[in-house]
Copies of this chain bind each other. A is one copy, B any other.
Amino acid sequence: MGGNVRPVPASTDDAVIDLLGLVAYGELVAFDRLAADARLAPDLRRRATLSELAAAEIGNYRRLADWLTALGASPEEAMAPYVEALRAYHDSTEPRDWLEAVTKAYVGDAITDDFLGAIADRLDDPYRQLIREVLHDSHYAEFAAAEIRAAIDADPRVANRLSMWARRLVGEALSQAGRVAAADRGALTALIARDGVDVPGLFRRLTADHTARMTAVGLNN
């Protein structure tokens, strides 16, 4: 997959290394969690689908690690600051069943992707494009959304339980964002400050998009 590494621009700074390290570790953790969640699948077809989605995260991990190496950074060192923050998020949001697992994929990963995408947009290409490419594709959300809709169709009471779960996921994701900022060695936080990211505006947008996603599958805020 080394063929995916494009020429390195001269303007590479620490914030790029930090962001790639954060996203790379996010991929490793997402792989681990989706692989574990696949055990909750009610049948072999769904189990295989979730396993394949997990495997896709590792392909993205490899691309990011190759980039970090090409930039002269150690992938392990770039990821290390974020290990505890992301572990805390997943430990506190371990799904108890299949529907909680797909809801976490649908709600939690989407809001994380939106957040990372907004930061990536502050970077120059090729980094902006690289981050955009490794965020989850629509196939992923569609699979999870279809599972949630089918479950609510079969038993409308499910909507209440999953709505509560989704609210908890968002709360933990926001708390995770705080932990990531605290873990960051400074460059990433500086990037957000330097480029004048409108943080309240960003959060409003993340929240609005989240609300739209909830409504789309029959969940309520």
Best-buried of A39, A76, A80 by chain B (most CB within 10 Å) = A76
Instruction: State A155–B95 Cα separation when bound (angstroms).
Output: 40
Binary CB contact string for chain A from 22 to 38 against chain B (1 if under 8 A, 0 otherwise): 00010010011001101
A36 to B59 Cα, complex, angstroms: 18
The A interface, classified by DSSP as helix, strand, loop or mixed, is: helix
Interface residues on A, range: 20 to 34
Q: How far is the CA of A44 from the CA of B35 in the complex (A)?
A: 17
List 8 A-B pairs, minimum CB-CB distance, nearest first: A35-B35, A55-B55, A55-B58, A44-B76, A51-B58, A31-B51, A45-B76, A52-B58
Additional A-B contact list (12), CB under 8 Å, known A31-B55, A36-B36: A28-B51, A31-B51, A32-B39, A35-B35, A43-B76, A44-B79, A44-B83, A45-B75, A48-B58, A48-B65, A51-B58, A54-B58
Q: Which residues of A contact B (CB under 8 A)?
A: 25, 28, 31-32, 35-36, 38-39, 43-45, 47-48, 51-52, 54-55, 58-59, 61-62, 65, 75-76, 79-80, 83
